[in-house]
Every structure is written in C-alpha cells, then in structure tokens.
Amino acid sequence: MDKRIERYLLRVDLSTETVRRETIPETDIAMFLGGRALGDIYLYRELAPGIEPLAPENKLIFGVGPLTGTSAPGNGRYIIHCKSPQTGLWNGSLAGGHFGPELRKSGYDMLIIEGKAEKPVYLLISNEGARIKDAGFLWGMDTFDTQQLIKEELRDQDYRIACIGPAGENMVCYAGVVSERRIAGRGGCGAVMGSKNLKAIAVRGTNEVRIADQNAFKNALKLASSDLSSNPDMVKGFAVYGSAMAMPTMNEAGITPWRNWQQGCSDKAVNLFIQTWREKYVKKDVLCHSPCPMICSKLVVAEQGPYAGVLTEGPDYETLYSFGANCDIDDPTAIFAVDSLCDKLGLDSISAGLSISFAMECFEKGIIKPDETGGVDIEFGCSDLLPKLIHDIAYRRGIGYFLSMGTKKMSEELGHGSESFAMHCKGMEIGGYDPRAAKSVALVYAAGARGGCHKAGGGSNSQSLGEYLTGDKRFLNEGKAKICFDVRKKKIIVDSGVLCSFTAGAYKMSTIMELLNASTGYDWSEDELYLISERGNHIERAFNVREGLRKSWDVLPDRLTKESVAFGPTAGSTVEFEELLDDFYRLSNWDLETGIPIPDRLRELGLAEIAADMERY
Amino acid sequence: MDKRIERYLLRVDLSTETVRRETIPETDIAMFLGGRALGDIYLYRELAPGIEPLAPENKLIFGVGPLTGTSAPGNGRYIIHCKSPQTGLWNGSLAGGHFGPELRKSGYDMLIIEGKAEKPVYLLISNEGARIKDAGFLWGMDTFDTQQLIKEELRDQDYRIACIGPAGENMVCYAGVVSERRIAGRGGCGAVMGSKNLKAIAVRGTNEVRIADQNAFKNALKLASSDLSSNPDMVKGFAVYGSAMAMPTMNEAGITPWRNWQQGCSDKAVNLFIQTWREKYVKKDVLCHSPCPMICSKLVVAEQGPYAGVLTEGPDYETLYSFGANCDIDDPTAIFAVDSLCDKLGLDSISAGLSISFAMECFEKGIIKPDETGGVDIEFGCSDLLPKLIHDIAYRRGIGYFLSMGTKKMSEELGHGSESFAMHCKGMEIGGYDPRAAKSVALVYAAGARGGCHKAGGGSNSQSLGEYLTGDKRFLNEGKAKICFDVRKKKIIVDSGVLCSFTAGAYKMSTIMELLNASTGYDWSEDELYLISERGNHIERAFNVREGLRKSWDVLPDRLTKESVAFGPTAGSTVEFEELLDDFYRLSNWDLETGIPIPDRLRELGLAEIAADMERY
C-alpha cells in the first residue's frame, strides 16, 4: 500500500469562479480504477436525475487513468463524461493526442467542471492549479484557430488545448471537443462546453508521471511489446492504413452501409478504399502520442481538384462510411474536406453524415420537398453539397437547423414512416457496421449506454467483427451476446486505463493487468479488473435507468429488424433482436423484464447506494 | 572599429545540397548597412542579367539588418530579394513577424538560396547552420498547415517558419512567402521559392543579438520612445485601427479607387471602414513582434453570415481597397474571407484583387464574354465569386489560369483597349492611392524599382499623402517629386535597418541614426546614411536598366493620365506625368533622357563597377 500514489482531481465551478483541488479517495481508485469507470461513478453521484443536459447543473468530467502519460504504448487518451444533450443519457467520449498526458502531468487525474460562466472563458491549467481566463476574443473561432490563438496569447506554444468550435458554441447536440486535429466527437460534450460558455481548456504540466513500481512496469512494458510483436498484421494494418483499412473487407462482406443503410455494399466502394488512395493522398503517418507502433493517423492532403489544399488527419473508417458510403459519395477528397470541416467546426462526423444521409433518403422519397431545403436538391451522391450543409449545421441556420437536431428528432418531426430509416439508437446515430451482417453488433448499438455508438457499447471492429469470418454463422444469434459482452468487458477496463482501444486490441488482458498493477501499486487479478468493468457497466446503465431507460429503449431502427438489403452477401438477412437481448441481459446481470441492473448483484459489487436507487424503479 | 560585430551570411545551394557560412565583408556593411541596400548589392552582383526569374539561376536572399531582433520598437521585419517573375525586374519584399528576428538569433544576417532542389525540400536553420530536409509530405499544403506540420515534425513548436502555399508551388507570378499570418506578398518571391522546390524555411535561433554599444543603444531607445510619445495620434491610430484607419480620409479625399479605378470614392465606403466594423469583428489587437506600441494587426473573426468562422489578421487598407472598393464589394466579412484565403494559399492580395477587378471591368465592357469565364458572371459587387476565383488563381485552373497572369499580360492578350485600364506599372498592380488625387504618388508607382508598389517606390500613405491636406495644391505637380524622393530616401534606410515603416514613420532620422550607430559600432552621420540610401536606389535602378528598363518604362496606366473620375472631389483631375518624372530624375541623379543612373555619380558613391555597367547602355 505504501507504494500507492495519491491522485487528485481539480474541481472548477464556473458560476462561482472557484477552483479546488481534491484527493480522489483510495477506495474510489480500488473500486473504479480511473478514466471511464471512475468518471462513471462521479457522474452518477454528482448529477441529479432529470437535469437538462445544457443547463448549468450538468457537469463535464475530463478524466485520465493510471497509464496516461506513461511509456505504455497507446497511453495518449482521455475521456469526457457528461449527460448527453443528444440522448439525454450517459455519455463518455474519448480522444487521443497530447491533451490527456499533459493533464496528467499537471498533477490531476480528473477535471470536474461545474456551473456556467457569465461570459466566454477558457481554463488555464498548470502544475499550480487552474485559472479562469477571458475567452471573448476566441468566441466564433474554429478549433484550429482557437488552439493557435491561445498559444499565442500565452506566449507558449507547448500548451495542449481541448476546445469547441462554432458547433459547440451554438450547442449543436452532436458537437464535440477538439484537441489538435482529433475530436471527442460523440454524444455532444462540445455542446455542454458551449452551454457553460467554456471555449477551451489549456494545459501545461511538467510533473513526472509517477509509477508505483518501476521494475514491475518495465517488465509489463516487455509484455506489451511482446503482445504487439505477436500481432504484426494488426500493427502493420493500422500503421499503413489506419482504421480505414477495414473497408474492403467490410464492403465485401456486406457490412458497410450505403445510401442510408439501403445497401450493404457497393461497386463504388473501391474509390473510398484507403488501399486505393493512400499512395496519392497520404502525406504522412502520424502518431497521436508517443509511444505507439500503430501510428494510425493518416495525414492526407488533396493537391488537385475541387478540394485542393484541404488537409485532414483521417478520415477514419467511420467518416468514410458516414459521409462517403452512406451518402453514396465515392470521391475521397470530398470526404477529406468534410472531415477537416467537422474537426474545425467541432462536429461529430458520424451524426452529421447520417443526419445528411437521412435527409437525402427523405428527399428521395418526397418526404422532404425541394421548397423545404432552401432550394437545394439534397440528393445522394452530391458531394458538392456537403461543405455548405456542414457549415449550416454548425451555425444552425437554414436546412442546417433541421439537420442539427439529429435523425431521431428529424424523423419525429417529419413522420411519414421516416422513423423506420432514421438510423439511430436512443438518439445517437449508429456506426458503420451493419448488424444484419454480423449479429453481435446489434447489441453494441442497441444495448450500449450511450446509444448507437460502435465503440462504447462493445467494439464493433475488433472481436465482434471476427464474425464475418465465420461464414454463415454470422447470420445466427447463437453466441453473439457473449461476443459483445466479452468485448465490452475488456473495453471498459481499456477505457479506464486509459488505453487506446486500437493498441490495446493487441494486448492480452494479463498484460493490461500487469501494466495497471505496476503503475498503481495495486495487485488486481484479471477477475478483479473485470469486477471494476462490471461496476462501470452497471453504473452507466443505472445512470440511464434513472433517466427513464427501460428494456423498451433497447431497440434498433426498424430498417434493421424488418427490411433486408436487396443484393450482396447479406441479402435476406434481418436482425431478430429479442433473443439476442435476453442473452445479453443475462450476461450483464440485468433484469430480463426491465433491463434494470439487479440490485443484489450491485450490492455484491459494493454499489449499495445504486442498488437502493434501482430498487425504486 | 573594435566594437564592430562580425556579420555572417548562410549560402545554400539546393542543386548541390551544399551549405556554406560566409563573413559579410566589413566594406559591404559600411557601404550598404543591411537589409534592403545590402541585399540590393548582393542581388546585383550575383544575378547575371537576362536570367529567367523561375530558372535555377535566380536567387532568393532573405535579409535582416542591424536592428532586427533588438529591443528597438519595430524591429521585427525581414526582406526577401529576388528577380521578380511578375515584372522581370528587381524585387524586395518585406514582412513582419518573428521570422526575421529568429533568423538573426541563429547568427545570420542573410540567407542566400541558389539553384533548385530535385524534389520538394525545406530548410532547417539553427545556430549550427542549415540542413536540407525532405518536404514531400508538405507539398500541396496551405501555409498555415505547413507551419504547423513542420513544428510537429520537428517536435518543437518554437520554430519560426516562412513558407509558400499552393500559389507558390504552382508559380503564380504574384505568389508570396508567408510566415505566421503575414505575407511578403509583392513581386512573386513565393513563385521563385516554388520554382526551386523550396516549400519552407524553418528557423530556431538562440544566440543573443549583439549590440556594439549597449549604453549608446539605451540612449537611442530613449530617443525612439520619445519620438513615439510625440506622435500619440499616429501610434493610437495604428493601435486601434491598423493601416485600415486611412480609408475614411482617403475616400473622402477621392483617393481610394473604386470599381477598378473608375471612381475615387463611394457612398458604400462606410461599410468597409474599420471605424464602422471594429467593434463587431475585431477580437484582438496583435503585435507582429515585440516591442512595438503600434500593435497594428487586427485579428478579426466573422461570427455569423456566409463567412462565419473565418479568421484573419487584417485586412489592411490595401486589401480593403483591392478586393473591397476596387471590386465594388462593401461586405467586410467577404474581405476577411479572401484576406485569409490569400494568406493560406500564399497570394498577394493586391495583385489578386486587381486582376479580378480588371476582369470585372472587361466583363462589364463585353471584352470578356460569359462563355469565356466558365459560365460565371464576373460582375462588380459579386462577393460570393471571390473565394472560388482565388482558389482557381492559386491552382491556375479555369478562369483562374487567366487571372493568375496579372493585369499586364491579361490586357495584352485581350486587347480592345483594355490596356488603358489594366492598373499596373511594369507588370505590378498598383496600390490603393489615386495619383490623380495626390500627384507625388504617380512617381511612387511609375518610378519605383519594383513596379506599381505603393511602398518600395516611396511611401504613399505617410508624408506623400499629407498632400491631401494641402487643399487644391495636391492637384499641382510642383514640389511633388521632392515629396516622393524624400520619402524614398528615408524608406530605403528604414528597410535596411530593418525597421517597420509604420513604426519608423514616427522616428526622426536622427533617432534612426543613433539606433544604427549604437547597434553596429559605426558612426554614420545622417548624410552618410542617405548616401547608403542613394546607393540602394541606384543599384535597384541599375539592376532594372540591365534588364532593359529605360525612361519609356516609367509610365502610368492611361486611365490615370487620360481619364478622370466622373464625380467626387477629384473629378476632372488627371496626371501630367512628364514634368513630374524630370524633376524626380534630377533629384535621383538619373539621366533625364534615358533614366539611367549617372555613372559619375555612381563612382562618387563607390559603385565603380556599376558605373561601368551603366556606361554600356
């Protein structure tokens, strides 16, 4: 126990302009580790049920974990918790880069932001604590200019900054938080920052990140290194192609949605494959934070054509899906342009792309009429529409005002059966893997705590998608709940570490355990870590139950359960959901009738207060 | 003499990939001081007459002066010499910011770049010298991304970088060199960088800038401070409004050109006045380099409207003129957008704006037909055309290919009398002060070494424009050559210091003398400094004579000598040029018949070799 390291959080109340350092209780570390699970319990404890997500009562929790800022490959990530303005539910949103490690080096494992500033402000955090600074001059700026201008104002180019763009200022419900060229995109944490008049957080930390047992940590790093060496194809795949590497396989398997999920593959896909365009457009392989052998960011520049001069880091598979395949656009440079624009304006590219593809289908079906779009024909394949639509979303003007509401509210307003192809779960637009083609993904989307996310609810592009290799077995429900559950179990630990899920995809659980034990001075077994994971999973669920979520909310869009695609390897397949869900509830220790975490199990996990809460529903 | 400080230059040959440090001979310092005049003699000596500006034989000379990087207010400037691809003549292009001081701190007063790299490269300069690095990954990037990506590659955010954008890569003849958000815009030095496959120069210098006599320098700084205190209105004017402050006075006096110089004022002007929009759009007053009380850069952001999210530093008076008044556009946010775009793509905003306004007038007059513009109606006042036209110029595509040639070549190709309203001198588009309304400006444009520049040929917004205060006398020729000559005389010293001409506008010549003497250890009198200035003026002229320039080249566009504006305070006035020119030649010691510097005078100035050259013509 002596070796254990004290960990602190910084609490900033923007309403009262007060800043306080608090010790994170040892018991919280023991039960919740850090990052995701630790943020979960703080969010649960500190937010009253039913608050408005954009009211001062919501909080933002920026969290890192015991591995952040260490020399463990994949250590450069942070997580932002809040109540989501998009779903009204739990939200935890991750991003890579230097911001997390810098926050940790300033001496804090968590930053809790409360209240609302009277005027635009930014936070300045250093080893000495935090100051609230005027951000009037930054309001209206995009996220790249904001970072640059803060560095200039502070006359120190080494600050690491997380900030919002115009989309966050205007409280678009799917606005994200951007640091460097990376966005914590999903769930609208950028809108919450905007609602608090908080433009940015600038951090400069120079403390050493302490490790409880240096020798043990060195040994654990050797294990990590060996795990990475044992997965050369995976490491190389990310290093050469990034997450976009998946598209050829996914398209071939009928997993990549096209035309707002009306197709599962397309002949045009080859134009979107990074394998096709890497040589022409990728300028550099970029590491988000050292060390990491994955180097998964691809810096691309269009040198010619209508989008000449555009630079972006990415696009990831998801953005190639959301704005590309799903809008039936196969010009990769158009996707580069909107990827860059989403980062600059601070918009989630999945929700933005799906809101647009949903409008395209409504336009195609005559549910949206030409005179309702400001004279623009919002048609599939029209890449030249995208930049203006995205601007209009960020500024919530014209047709962009409608698109900024997201597919759930758009479809509720439109009616005419559009709800069946509004591709969201619980208000969050879903990722680019079709559950009709790989059944475990249905649970990732429909039973995930933050809605239709392909990551938080499991991990749809790692183990679960190994399904596509199983031949016709991928169309069966059998064993699929277990796949989703196992991925989520590990994912919550990875997100609590905090480790990058790409890098950690190569790590054995025993390696993660050794890394965590060496860095913290604890002596967790794998099973004990899984208990921490289960706590996180329950708390996220309990948070949502408190907000009204029941079993009936765990559903997929009708298109996935009632329609099948017309051609390709997945033609004829739909999701039969009931059976999948029951299996998953059983594994999760959630009540089969209600979907509420089982109180007795919560008590076994030391979550008596939450158990008592759950018994009230 | 003991106190004098050795000064070095760095010579980089991109063809042979060699780097050499050379001592700048003491005699060169004594005769040419630094910056502009020193660069003049090197350019004259090292370039053979008749070379192609975009051939490897052209050179780029980046120069600073004895005051660069010191604590003298206005010290943050550098100058780039080359043979201009726009005019085929002498070019010296200045910009403010940290690049110049950083270069000086690396130990060099000059950087001479020769030859041509086989593939895109960038230069990395430190106290230890220079290295040539691969810039393949930077090619195609805009100037802001380029600076950021180099800092990331070098893992040091403190580098100061000068670079080109796509316009320079594509060798647009009016492409500039950008550092931070500032451009050395005029004359096409960016195209020369592009022709050499040189994307950028990154500098990090940590040497102290040495001062020969610290006590004397402290005293000189007191004089500088006192000069600035004696000009409170000027300092405050720049600090609050920047160079844009001039527009209300200029428009009222009929000096600001509108609609491609068809008008000298407009009722719409009020919308362009920074006095009108400062409160709405200016986020911050920005210093290009400390110390300076002028703080003349205005950081603006449009928060709403079609250009929402655009940030730029500026626009200066000249950009409000070139894209605003002269294109008959009065939406300041449209000007912010194109100002930012020109900086990012690396385009001179005066030449770009005037090339467009010229095309607008040709379109109005039917000289350019709708089917020749790719279907676009290039009409005065159409602000929404500008972004696309500017992109197309930078990439030399479509109508942009034509616009990228500049007004001289455009009008030569079009004919139909368009030459008379192609608003350039010697191929360089002219600044925003109408000589019909203030006669000395005629000489600034027509007898300036780099063509129609409002700065290099004199200084059209300081003393010379005091003319507008002289009532009807401003329409007379008498005494106007002397005004232009005196301004130029001081300007060449200021540019050799190198000092900012805005800041130095407040300095007495005696103050500049004290600053220069203290920093160098010389003991120049004011008259001796003026001899240095005269040397510079002659060398620039001699360079041009060698390229073919004679008296017949010193002309204004016909519009200024044959047409007058229809309304406003300057209606009826034209420029009677012959008399002005003779007066100016006399003052300059240039031959009245030919315009060639008088050899005997050159010999008196110690320029015997140039005298011999001149005698051959």
Quote the pLDDT of residue B462.
Answer: 59
**Greatest Cα-to-Cα distance within chain A, rounded to the nearest angstrom:** 70
Query: Residues B291-304: what's their mean pLDDT?
Result: 95
Q: With an 8 Å Cβ cutoff, are B309 and A136 in contact? A: no
Interface of A to B at Cβ within 8 Å reads: 136-142, 144-145, 148-149, 151-153, 157-158, 165-166, 283-284, 286, 299, 301-304, 308-309, 311, 344-345, 391, 394-395
CA distances, B311 to each of A43, A311, B315 (Å): 36, 17, 10
Phi-psi label, residue B254: left if phi above 0, alpha if psi -120 to 50, beta otherwise: left
Query: Residues B397-416: what's their mean pLDDT?
Result: 97
| Contact criterion met (CB below 8 Å) for A539 and A244 | no
Quote the pLDDT of residue B3.
Answer: 64
Query: Residues A374-381: what's their mean pLDDT?
Result: 93
Lowest mean pLDDT among A2-16, A142-156, B425-439, B542-556: A2-16
pLDDT tens-place string over residues B434-447: 999 999 999 999 99
Quote the pLDDT of residue B472.
Answer: 80
Q: With an 8 Å Cβ cutoff, are A311 and B142 in contact? A: yes
How far is it, in rounded angstroms, from Cα A360 to Cα A421? 11
List own/partner pairs for A384-391 with CB under 8 A and 24 or more apart: A384/A306, A384/A334, A386/A323, A386/A327, A386/A329, A386/A334, A386/A337, A386/A338, A386/A356, A387/A337, A387/A338, A387/A341, A389/A356, A390/A338, A390/A341, A390/A342, A390/A345, A390/A347, A390/A352, A391/A341, A391/A345, A391/B308, A391/B309
CA distances, A30 to each of A211, A495, A498 (Å): 16, 16, 15
Cβ pairs A/B, distance under 8 A: 81
**Mutate which: A102, A134, A141, A181, vs B, most B CBs within 10 A:** A141
Percent of chain A surpassing pLDDT 90: 94
pLDDT at B407 over 70: yes
B204 forms beta bridges with: B126
Contacts of A153 in chain B (CB under 8 A): 284
> Pick from B148, B284, B395: which is nearest to A137 by CB?
B284
Backbone phi and psi for residue A591, each to the nearest 5 degrees, phi listed first = -60, 130
pLDDT tens-place string over residues A171-204: 999 999 999 999 999 999 999 999 999 999 999 9
Quote the pLDDT of residue B1.
Answer: 39
> If you average pLDDT over every residue of chain B, what do you get?
96
How would residue B549 be classed by pLDDT, with cut points 50, 70 and 90?
very high
A91 forms beta bridges with: A82
Among residues B572, B553, B193, the alpha carbon closest in space to that of B408 is found at B553
Neighbouring C-beta atoms of residue B474, cutoff 10 Å? 24
**Cut 0.80: pTM above it:** yes
Quote the pLDDT of residue B458.
Answer: 74
Top-confidence residue, B466 or B72: B72
Give the nearest chain B residue to A150 (CA atoms): B284
pLDDT at A3 over 70: no
* Sequence-separated (6 or more) residues with CB below 8 Å from residue A294: A73, A74, A235, A238, A239, A287, A500, A502, A503
How far is it, in rounded angstroms, from Cα B557 to Cα B429? 10
Quote the pLDDT of residue B5.
Answer: 85
pLDDT at B564 over 60: yes
Percent of chain B surpassing pLDDT 90: 94
Angle B453-B429-B166 from CA coordinates, rounded to 5°: 100
Quote the pLDDT of residue A1.
Answer: 39
Cis peptide before A370 (omega within 30 of 0): no
How far is it, in rounded angstroms, from Cα A185 to Cα A183? 5
Query: Residues B560-567: what's their mean pLDDT?
Result: 96
Query: Residues B469-490: what's their mean pLDDT?
Result: 89
**Mutate which: B199, B303, B336, vs A, most A CBs within 10 A:** B303
Backbone phi and psi for residue A96, each to the nearest 5 degrees, phi listed first = -95, 175
Sign (positive or negative) of CA dihedral B142, B146, B152, B153: positive
Helical segments of A68-114, H only: 99-105
| Contact criterion met (CB below 8 Å) for B153 and B121 | no
Instruction: Give the gap in angstroms from C-alpha A469 to the nearest C-alpha of chain B.
Output: 37
Query: Residues B22-50: what's their mean pLDDT?
Result: 98
How would residue B594 be classed by pLDDT, with cut points 50, 70 and 90?
very high
Give the nearest chain A residue to B157 (CA atoms): A157
How far is it, in rounded angstroms, from Cα A350 to Cα A585? 27
Sign (positive or negative) of CA dihedral A455, A457, A460, A461: positive
Instruction: Give the gap in angstroms from C-alpha A37 to the nearest C-alpha of chain B.
Output: 33
Give the nearest chain A residue to B305 (CA atoms): A395
> Pick from B138, B153, B301: which is nearest to A140 by CB?
B301
**Mutate which: B98, B137, B289, vs A, most A CBs within 10 A:** B137
Q: With an 8 Å Cβ cutoff, are A141 and B165 in contact? A: no
Sign (positive or negative) of CA dihedral A355, A358, A364, A365: negative
Contacts of A149 in chain B (CB under 8 A): 284, 299
Q: What is the DSSP letter of B25?
A: P
> Pick from B145, B153, B311: which is nearest to A145 by CB?
B311
> Pick from A148, A157, A308: which is nearest to B166 by CB?
A308
Q: What is the DSSP letter of A175?
A: B
Instruction: Give the gap in angstroms from C-alpha B198 to the nearest C-alpha of chain A.
Output: 16
Quote the pLDDT of residue B598.
Answer: 98
pLDDT at B568 over 90: yes
The complex scores an ipTM of 0.93
Query: Residues A282-298: what's their mean pLDDT?
Result: 95
* Residue carrying the six token digits 């207010």: B73
Among residues A593, A499, A540, A599, the alpha carbon closest in space to that of A72 is found at A499
> If you average pLDDT over every residue of chain A, what do you get?
96
